[in-house]
Amino acid sequence: MKLAVAQYPVSEPRRWDEVETQLGRWVAEAAQAGAQLLLFPEYASMSLAALFDAATRADLARQVTALQALRDDYLDLHRRLAQQHGVYLLAGSFPWQLSLDCTVNRAWLCAPDGRAAFQDKQIMTRFEREVWDISAAPDSGLKVFRTALGVLAVDICYDSEFPLLARAQCEAGAELILVPSCTDTAAGYWRVRVGSQARALENQCYVAQAPLVGEAPWSAAIDVNVGRAGVFGPPDRGFPDSGVIVEGQWNAAAWVYADVDLGAVMKVRNEGQVFNHRHWAEQGDISLPAVDVVDL
């Protein structure tokens, strides 16, 4: 399949139709290029806060509360675009309020038939915990998504830096892990990048990373965003020696495309120079989190 990974720019829309136009243009461009799976970054939804008044734009808590009035429209827009273009797409993650005491970082995977299912971020960064009050829901754990393209998993940004999460998903069948990210420093980007490549190595699978890029001085949440998109695999037979299949230009707003053969995952796990995936258990008795399997 052809995978499209977004280096998606922050923006400052003034009306909802500007949001629809920008996102529609991006999805149409990727679909016309032949992409079957589109990956948008973590917190790409936060540009929506530009639609609010100055006081709300300046206050993180008020932004999250105000955004809840737009969340259904945001999800419906992505579902409609996936259906219109016949693609799977992972929407930019959204601060989804479950209750007054719990707001999660939620990414929706939308299918060509209009269905959608979500993955919530499992482990929060210091900013999310200490400043923004984003948390993990106790009953919303890991998932894998069985699709017509293959078995997919989602590890949102910081989650990619914790090997047991991806391992549990791969043991549940994941062949490609999608990593939407949002980082405000080069060091932050590289932490997610190194984590993504490590997950590809140890699980002998594909990992795709999509960063938010650009500056939004008006926003306390996404004021600075840096990185480059990339698709990675294990540095083994059938894959590049570096493990880097493709990577984009630093901080440029663009799609980055890769042709991905999920059959290569099983082949390298069975015929590779090493068997990282198979030999995992030799580290000792390591408990893994539970994973739900979702058909999509």
Give the Cβ contact number of residue 287 at 10 Å: 6
Side-chain-side CA neighbours of 209 within 13 Å: the count stands at 35
d(CA 45, CA 92): 6
| Structural contact between residues 143 and 111, judged by C-beta atoms closer than 8 angstroms | no
- Going by pLDDT thresholds of 50, 70 and 90, the confidence category of residue 163 is very high
Helices (H), the chain: 16-32, 54-57, 60-67, 71-85, 126, 163-171, 186-203, 263-271, 276-279
The CATH number linked to 58 is 3.60.110.10
Task: Band the pLDDT of 137: cuts 50, 70, 90.
Answer: confident
- CA–CA distance, 193 with 231 (Å, rounded to integer): 10
C-alpha distances out from residue 233 to 48, 175, 250, Å: 34, 10, 20
Mean pLDDT of the chain: 96
pLDDT of residue 286: 87
One-letter amino acid at 57 equals: R
Determine if residue 248 is left, alpha or beta; phi over 0 gives left, psi from -120 to 50 gives alpha, anything else beta: beta
Percent of the chain with pLDDT over 70: 100
Place of tokens 């016949």: 86
Question: Rounded to whole angstroms, how far apart are CA atoms 10 and 270?
Answer: 42
CB atoms within 10 A of CB 273: 9
What confidence score (pLDDT) does residue 264 get?
Answer: 95
pLDDT for the residue 139: 84
- Residue 65's pLDDT is 94
Q: Judge contact between 121 and 108, C-beta under 8 A.
A: no
Q: What residue ranges in 92-221 does DSSP mark as E strands?
A: 94-99, 102-110, 116-120, 142-146, 151-154, 176-181, 206-215
Beta bridge partners of 177: 153, 207
167 has pLDDT over 90: yes
Q: Residue 84 has which token pair? A: 């219109």
Predicted pLDDT at 185: 97
Total domains in the chain come to 1
β-sheet bridge partners, residue 96 = 104
Report d(CA 150, CA 148) in Å as an integer. 6
Give the pLDDT confidence of 175-202 residue by residue, as tens digits: 999 999 999 999 999 999 999 999 999 9
d(CA 287, CA 89): 31
Which helix H or strand E contains 254, and what residues bound it? strand 254-259
Segments forming the whole domain that contains residue 151: 2-295
Model confidence at 138, in pLDDT bands (50, 70, 90)? confident
* DSSP 3-state of 203: helix
Rounded Cα distance between 161 and 95, Å, is 21
Rounded to whole angstroms, the Cα distance separating 53 from 20 reads: 20
Q: How far apart are CA 202 and CA 115, in angstroms?
A: 32
Beta strands at 151-154 and 176-181: parallel, antiparallel or unpaired: parallel
Give the integer Cα–Cα distance in Å for 71 and 65.
11
Average pLDDT over residues 86-98: 97
Whole-model pTM above 0.85? yes
* 117-122 mean pLDDT: 98
Tokens representing 97 are: 């309020």
